Amino acid sequence: MKEILNQFVIPNEVAEPQPLKIGFINDSFIIRAKNKGEKSYFLQRINHHIFQNVEGLQQNIWKVTNHIRRKLEAAGETDIDRKVLQLVPAKDGKLYYQTPEGDYWRVYVLIENTTSQEKVTPASAELTGQAFGRFQRQLSDLPFDELCESIPNFHNIEFRLHQLDDALADDPKHRKDDCKDVIDWIDRRRDEMCLAERLFREGKLTKRINHCDTKVNNILFDQDSKPMCIVDLDTVMPGFVLSDFGDFMRTAANTGLEDDPNPDNIHVDLDIFRAYARGYIKEATFLTPLEKQLLPYGCRLLSYMQTVRFFTDWLNGDTYYKILYPEHNLVRTRAQLRLVEEQERVADKMAEIIASLS
């Protein structure tokens, strides 16, 4: 560990890294300053099996954090070091360090005195919507093609359906015959769900820079529960704004669980929907009328995409998502499928809410 830390530009004296139990993808450690008032740090081993282009990933984070920092400076904001993450470069100027064994490490300056939240209430949903809307707005003048896709085709439903078709063709665990109903259900919606990709090809829908993991636990809040800083920037990449809006609603505006064994628990929480949408639209002043109109569709798209991804992993024999019991991915599939149905049922209500906020 000392050897790793030694590779980074850390001017002050620090203690031994302590492991932190957060996130499933990277391994994280906290490095405390030895002397009061000096900087502490956040060390991570990057999962390069999931993020195969670490150079591109780190360049993305560098561009995004510097861009936001300049925006905050121009707006005359105070306390900027707590409002945007700051990468610590390695001594050779790179934005990461690769060990002789091939592991990749990176360091951020630690943002002090923050809390995180796992559950969303209508009140916190509005603030969360503002925070993610502001994040997109701050990046809205950074051309989307300046960033790479840190996971290629991450939120591209056409690609996810190709992956499903490959899994169906191979059917390595002989699971598809028991899932005819799911396959038919997915098939009936294919055309509709590829609409955003078609609109993009026709030049009608733009891509922008998205966070692509808009869970409330990716926001650091200050002591007064005000959002301070958006974190977990690994999946920040070009995409449709529908991704960030839809993925938040998929995870937060659901009265049931992502993997609820009883799909009857699953309904759309329209109070959360309204509150988040209000906060988001207030800040996302760059949205075109078409983007706004597509927001309810974005909710269905992201839930459908997750249905397809869980189901593909089920067919492939659970190679991507960690499972807690043998049928977990199938249970997740059915829970997300029900969420899409529920979102279809209240599509008109969602559209009314969006129209009333515009």
Question: Contact positions toward ligand GN1, by CB under 6 A?
Answer: 24-25, 50, 213, 235, 258, 306
Burial state string for 44-78 with b = 16 or more CB within 10 A and e = fewer than 16: bebbbeebeebebbbbbbebbbebbbebbeeeeee
Name the binder of 283 from Mg ion, ligand GN1, none, CB < 5-8 A by kind: none
Nearer to ligand GN1, 25 or 270 (CB): 25
Identity of the residue, 48 or 349, whose beta carbon is nearer to Mg ion in the bound complex? 48
Residues 6+ apart with CB under 8 A from 117: 124, 216, 217, 219, 221, 225
Among 232, 269, 313, 342, binds Mg ion (CB under 5 A): 232
Which option in ligand GN1, Mg ion, none does residue 50 bind, with CB closer than 5 to 8 A by kind? Answer: ligand GN1
CA-CA distance, 134 to 136, in Å (whole number)?
5
Sequence length of the chain is 358
| Three-class SS state of 80 | helix
Comparison of 164 and 230: residue with beta carbon closer to Mg ion: 230
Between residues 48 and 94, which has the closer beta carbon with respect to ligand GN1? 48
30: helix, coil or strand? strand
**Rule CB under 5 A: is residue 234 a binding residue for Mg ion?**
no
- Residue 308 and residue 186: Cα distance in Å, rounded? 8
Q: How far is the CB of 55 from ligand GN1 (least distance, A)?
A: 18
* Element at 190 (helix H, strand E): helix 180-193
Q: Which of the ranges 231-239, 279-287, 299-307, 319-327 carries the binding residues for Mg ion, by CB under 5 A? A: 231-239
Which 203-222 positions form the footprint of Mg ion (CB under 5 A)? 213
Q: Which residue number, 24 or 325, has a Cβ lying nearer to ligand GN1?
A: 24
Q: Which does 126 bind (CB under 5 to 8 A by kind): Mg ion, ligand GN1, none?
A: none
Which parts of 194-294 fold into alpha helices (H)? 195-201, 241-252, 270-283, 289-293
Q: How far is the CB of 105 from Mg ion (least distance, A)?
A: 18
- Binding-site ranges for Mg ion (CB under 5 A): 213, 232
